[in-house]
Amino acid sequence: MKLNDIKDNPGSSKARIRVGRGIGSGKGKQSGRGGKGQTARSGVRIKGFEGGQMPLHRRLPKRGFTPPSQLVYNEVNLGRIQSAIDAGKLDTSATIDAEALLKAGVVTHPRDGVKILGSGELKASANFEVAAASKSAAAAIEKAGGSLRTLRAEAAPTAP
């Protein structure tokens, strides 16, 4: 086999249709675009337009609600904290808080605080001061001999 013997398989490529080249070609006059107007032009088309009928996306009900005061936490797993401790980036003798995690490079952006999640294993005993923690993370911290203090404000009791 030589390079000049290589060919495409028969039928693998089709010739381009040249539109607008007379009525004998079958694609003359309006070139398969139908009549005049917006749909015959290039680049513009009414998306979702249903001929004056109320479009589907406006007929369906709105769902959901985003609370305006929702807190966004940096979520950190225990395994990630343990690897930072092993690398010497976090000091277990000092309190581990959002600022310490930021300096160690465990979190990149200070959001509304740090939430510790229970994935991974924590071997070192450390004191944590974070916004929130999952139940499994709190149990793992207590099991390792550390302490956890959550800074999240408790919900105010509602009036009866």
Structural domains in the chain plus CATH codes = 77-150 (3.100.10.10)
Which burial class, exposed, middle or buried, applies to 129 when counting CB atoms under 10 A from its CB (0-12, 13-18, 19+)? middle
Q: How many CB atoms lie within 10 A of CB 112?
A: 14
Cα torsion 86, 91, 95, 101: sign: negative
State the pLDDT at residue 157.
47
d(CA 117, CA 110): 17
According to DSSP, the β-strands at 74-77 and 132-133 are unpaired
Encode pLDDT of 55-101 as tens digits: 999 999 999 998 888 888 999 999 999 999 999 999 999 999 999 99
State the pLDDT at residue 35.
87
State the pLDDT at residue 153.
54
Q: Which long-range contacts (CB under 8 A, 24 or more apart) does 129-134 make?
A: 129/95, 129/96, 129/97, 130/96, 130/97, 130/98, 131/71, 131/73, 131/98, 132/73
State the pLDDT at residue 37.
86
**List of the chain residues with pLDDT < 50:** 154-160
State the pLDDT at residue 159.
46
State the pLDDT at residue 156.
41
pTM (two decimals): 0.56
CA 51 to chain centre: 35
CB 89, CB 105: distance < 8 Å: yes
d(CA 69, CA 20): 59
